[in-house]
Chains A and B, each alone.
Chain A
Amino acid sequence: MMTNTRLFSTNKDEGQRHVSFTFNGMELTGYEGEPIAAALLANGIKTIRTCEVTKEPRGIFCGIGHCYECRAEVDGISNQRTCMTPLRSGTQVSSHSSWQIEEARK
């Protein structure tokens, strides 16, 4: 899913390294330090989680940490706002928390 939606701009941050990370086990790349949600979007991924109540797919909405729609488990910690969590090399992002996966397996 390597749709390229990166933009060229005059005010780009400088010196960003490419790093690998995973999303639900899928290996992707992004820029070190950018929000995880940006790296996902750059890979063409708009759906970040499933709404627990309505079962609808959900993704970025407010983009600045107010709505919590972009939340995911990051390196084992659940409910991280991916629009505000910086990407690092080897970051593991999951749509469901570990306990939800365990429950589903039972």
Chain B
Amino acid sequence: MDDLIICRCEGIRLSEIRASLREGASAVPGVKKRNRVGMGYCQGRVCQRVVSELIASETGAKESLLQRAQSPVRPTLLKDI
């Protein structure tokens, strides 16, 4: 179960997210800084809400702060920026 992939883009497993929480992360941005959750191609579109709810249920926090979307919201070629 701990082996379950949560972040598909970066291959981050439940065990790694739990480890981040033990190290002191309390919300999605903290987890993201410690492993690579939400940094892949989908920018958290697939996993972020799951991670947020997971944090809330495991830390007892009411609602977890989500990462703030940044420009560009889709992978973009440098020539287009």
Contact = CB atoms under 8 A, between A and B. Distances in A.
A interface secondary structure, majority: loop
Contacts of A7: none
Interface in B1-49: 5, 8-11, 40-42, 45-46
A67 B11 contact: no
Nearest to B45: A66
A54 B9 CA distance: 9
Interface residues of A, number: 12
A62 B41 CA distance: 13
22 contacts: A51-B8, A51-B11, A53-B10, A53-B11, A54-B11, A58-B8, A61-B8, A61-B46, A62-B46, A66-B42, A66-B45, A67-B8, A67-B41, A67-B42, A67-B45, A67-B46, A68-B9, A68-B40, A68-B42, A68-B75, A69-B8, A71-B41
